């Protein structure tokens, strides 16, 4: 019988990359089952150790346990997001409870925890490095805060909660993916395409042809298609139709409805937090974040709200007055906002995305992004065509450090498809640890090239690309001993600093001059456009701030419910409206919901943590001030950022790391100044 390829210790591939082209669906389940057996043996070996419990034979051994299971899980769950199918979704429902149960078994293993407690008490902390001390403290805290000291009956209940929640989160995400797959707006009358630029129509034609309707144009709920239509279409009725389809995902009381799923998720999280001695899930989560507590979080959110809300209302009114003047619109609606704001931006700043896109071909922008990394950190990217891929659209690069040493393997997956969830994210296929370099990936949903032109990005998409690349650099530069503290494995409200700071370079002429050239003529982006980009940087800044704050307040409010209150929530819509009504700028729209499509929180890892984006904006604005002062490509400043932030991962307290780089704690004033809210 042939060995399951997923269980091989060493792959005969460049850089020991995963052999995606050789993995069959039938390999996953047996690989999971065998890897689970091996992981259990690793734990048993720690328990059977006869030598006195110490840091190395307990904490380090536990850190290394289950490596094979981590590898199998990494491949499967990354592809479940990036290149899924019905078979994988069904298997995820079968495997997730087994993984959750295994995790609970480790946390509730009394013999193992007894060793951990002895090793914790007997270890001379002053003999450990900072990273080793962090592993000791975080591992011990993790066991305590996940119920290791609970009585048996409560441990059993906690294990069931974790299993049930993992399945519900999977179902939440699958429903959204199916919503996107199921919806299509086919347009057969060319008059209904008025206002749409050629690149939007070309992409829609390609989508329709792919779906068997070559004489039509197809618009979907995938981000590039949806935004292209909402931004440029003159057909208000169709804008409304597409908006309602997009904004009601998971909120239609049908087979893909997420209301009951998310209510159960909230209840389970509330129950879990109360069992562990916390008032609610928000309190439990923030205790181990950079923010420390809800008072610090709300102090920031409330300050930004008080400043931004009156300005955001003025911005909405400005767009509404413009729409009235232009088309005699009596009341601006949500499905009008992108269209008229784009028109006004073009008028005010002589700038629009359609004019900019030819200067931002994806290929040139990626090369420019690599050049920025080289100028900052001395690293280089060499494309490899001999590395197995999980989809033909993916590209892979070897990353070389400034001394020519191998640093990382980098996967870039840029285009939407029916098997990929929406949005953009960075992930690891292999994490960095002592002696092992990482394999990182960024996954996006940019417009695909057509037969007549390459993939062209909006300026927002350029920022998205740089954002995810910042996460990737964080993963690539990890230099720790332990995978659980390496790269992006940091406090959740610190993880967005490396990504968000990269967006700042997109506004600098010195950066844009590296790659912003017209894809047909090779002409550099005109200076007038560069100035317009800077001038328009704060266009609708207050509105966007309130939008982000609304998400943060909503997330924190769902997770601030005690179990009794969580069970008493009868209507997702009523609860959501109650939380967001004092932040409302636009007219509310019936039958739409943020919560039911809030995948960051109910599918991803941002539960009680969506505020992290704003928290990290304070950090990145303050940190970039130093680059502006010293020069945006100043090697000394970049080296300090790499050494003190990017390479350290979660090995030290994030505020200590930040102050080591910046010399002081961050100030919100830099963010207010940058966003025009000062």
Strand extents, DSSP E, 38-174: none
pLDDT at 1: 43
Task: Please give the backbone phi and psi of residue 592, each rounded to the nearest 5 degrees, phi first.
Answer: -125, 155
Cα-based torsion angle of the residue sequence 338, 548, 648, 435 in order, rounded to the nearest 10 degrees: -60
All residues at 6 or more sequence positions from 227 whose CB lies less than 8 Å from its CB, including other chains: 338, 458
* Nearest to 598, CA basis, from 262, 268, 227: 262
Q: Which of 354, 468, 496, 625 is catalytic?
A: 468
Quick check: 290 and 301 in contact, CB under 8 A?
no
pLDDT at 103: 94
Classify domain 5-107+109-149 by CATH number. Answer: 1.20.1050.40
Taking only the tens place, the pLDDT of each residue in 177-223 is 999 999 999 999 999 999 999 889 999 999 999 999 999 999 999 88
Calculate ∠ Cα 521-526-530, nearest 5°. Answer: 135
Tokens of 205: 């034609």
The domain segmentation of the chain, as residue ranges, is: 5-107+109-149, 183-247
Which H or E run includes 410?
strand 406-413
pLDDT at 418: 85
Q: Catalytic site residue 590? A: no
pLDDT at 2: 62
* Nearest to 432, CA basis, from 492, 366, 486: 486
Tokens of 92: 């995820």
All residues at 6 or more sequence positions from 294 whose CB lies less than 8 Å from its CB, including other chains: 282, 283, 286, 556, 560
Length of the chain: 678
Mean pLDDT of successive 10-residue segments in the chain (678 residues)? 82 95 95 97 97 97 96 96 94 94 94 97 95 97 94 94 94 94 95 94 93 96 93 97 97 97 97 96 94 94 97 97 95 97 92 87 98 98 97 98 97 93 93 96 93 92 97 97 97 94 96 96 92 91 97 97 94 95 93 96 93 95 97 98 97 96 95 92
Predicted TM-score (pTM) of the model is 0.90
Q: What is the DSSP string of 578-612?
A: HHHGGG--SPP-TT--SGGG-HHHHTSS-TTTTTH
| Residue 251, SS3 per DSSP | coil
């Amino acid at each position: 019988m042939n060995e399951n390829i997923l269980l091989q210790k060493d792959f005969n591939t460049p850089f020991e990359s995963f052999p995606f082209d050789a993995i069959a669906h039938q390999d996953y389940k047996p690989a999971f089952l065998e890897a689970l057996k091996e992981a259990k043996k690793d734990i048993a070996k720690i328990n059977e150790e006869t030598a006195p419990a110490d840091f190395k034979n307990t904490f380090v051994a536990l850190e290394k346990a289950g490596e094979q299971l981590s590898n199998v899980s990494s491949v499967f769950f990354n592809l479940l997001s990036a290149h899924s199918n019905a078979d994988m979704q069904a298997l995820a429902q079968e495997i997730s409870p087994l993984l959750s149960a295994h995790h609970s078994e480790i946390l509730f293993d009394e013999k193992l925890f007894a060793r951990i407690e002895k090793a914790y008490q007997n270890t001379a902390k002053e003999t450990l490095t900072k990273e080793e001390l962090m592993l000791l403290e975080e591992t011990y805290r993790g066991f305590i805060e996940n119920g290791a000291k609970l009585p048996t009956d409560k441990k059993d209940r906690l294990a069931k909660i974790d299993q049930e929640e993992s399945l519900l989160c999977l179902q939440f995400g699958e429903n959204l993916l199916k919503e996107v797959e199921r919806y299509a707006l086919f347009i057969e009358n060319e008059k209904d395409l008025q206002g749409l630029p050629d690149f939007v129509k070309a992409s829609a034609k390609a989508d329709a042809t792919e779906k068997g309707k070559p004489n039509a144009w197809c618009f979907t709920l995938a981000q590039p298609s949806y935004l292209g239509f909402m931004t440029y279409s003159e057909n208000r009725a169709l804008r409304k139709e597409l908006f309602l389809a997009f904004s009601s995902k998971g909120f239609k009381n049908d087979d893909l409805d997420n209301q009951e799923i998310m209510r159960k998720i909230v209840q389970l999280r509330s129950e879990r937090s109360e069992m562990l001695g916390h008032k609610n899930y928000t309190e439990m989560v923030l205790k181990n974040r950079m923010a420390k507590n809800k008072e610090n979080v709300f102090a920031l959110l409330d300050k930004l709200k008080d400043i931004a809300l009156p300005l955001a209302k003025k911005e909405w009114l400005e767009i509404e007055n413009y729409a009235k003047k232009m088309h005699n619109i009596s009341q601006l609606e949500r499905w009008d906002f992108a269209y008229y704001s784009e028109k006004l931006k073009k008028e005010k700043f002589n700038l629009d995305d359609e004019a900019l896109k030819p200067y931002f071909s994806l290929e040139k922008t990626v090369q420019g992004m690599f050049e920025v990394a080289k100028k900052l950190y001395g690293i280089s990217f060499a494309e490899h065509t001999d590395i197995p891929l999980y989809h033909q659209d993916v590209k892979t690069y070897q990353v070389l450090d400034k001394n020519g040493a191998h640093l990382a393997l980098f996967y870039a997956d840029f285009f939407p498809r029916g098997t990929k969830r929406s949005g953009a994210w960075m992930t690891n296929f292999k994490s960095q640890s002592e002696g092992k370099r990482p394999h990182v990936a960024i996954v996006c949903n940019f417009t695909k090239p057509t037969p007549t032109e390459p993939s062209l990005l909006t300026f927002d998409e350029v920022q998205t690309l740089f954002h995810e690349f910042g996460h990737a650099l964080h993963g690539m530069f990890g230099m720790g001993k332990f995978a659980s503290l390496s790269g992006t494995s940091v406090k959740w409200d610190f993880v967005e600093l490396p990504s968000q700071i990269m967006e700042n370079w997109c506004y600098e002429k010195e950066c844009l001059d590296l790659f912003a050239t017209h894809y047909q003529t090779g002409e550099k982006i005109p200076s007038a456009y560069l100035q317009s980009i800077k001038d328009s940087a704060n266009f609708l800044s207050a509105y966007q701030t309130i939008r982000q704050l609304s998400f943060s307040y909503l997330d924190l409010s769902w997770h601030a419910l005690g179990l009794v209150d969580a069970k008493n929530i009868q209507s997702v819509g009523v609860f959501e409206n109650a939380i967001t009504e004092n932040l409302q700028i636009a007219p509310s729209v019936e039958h739409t919901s943020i919560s039911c499509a809030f995948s960051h929180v109910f599918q991803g890892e941002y539960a009680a943590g969506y505020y992290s984006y704003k928290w990290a904006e304070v950090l990145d604005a303050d940190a970039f001030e130093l680059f502006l002062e010293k020069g945006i490509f100043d090697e000394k400043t970049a080296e300090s950022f790499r050494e003190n932030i990017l390479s350290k991962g979660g090995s030290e307290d994030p505020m200590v790391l930040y102050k080591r780089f910046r010399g002081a704690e961050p100030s919100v004033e830099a963010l207010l100044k940058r966003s025009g809210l000062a």
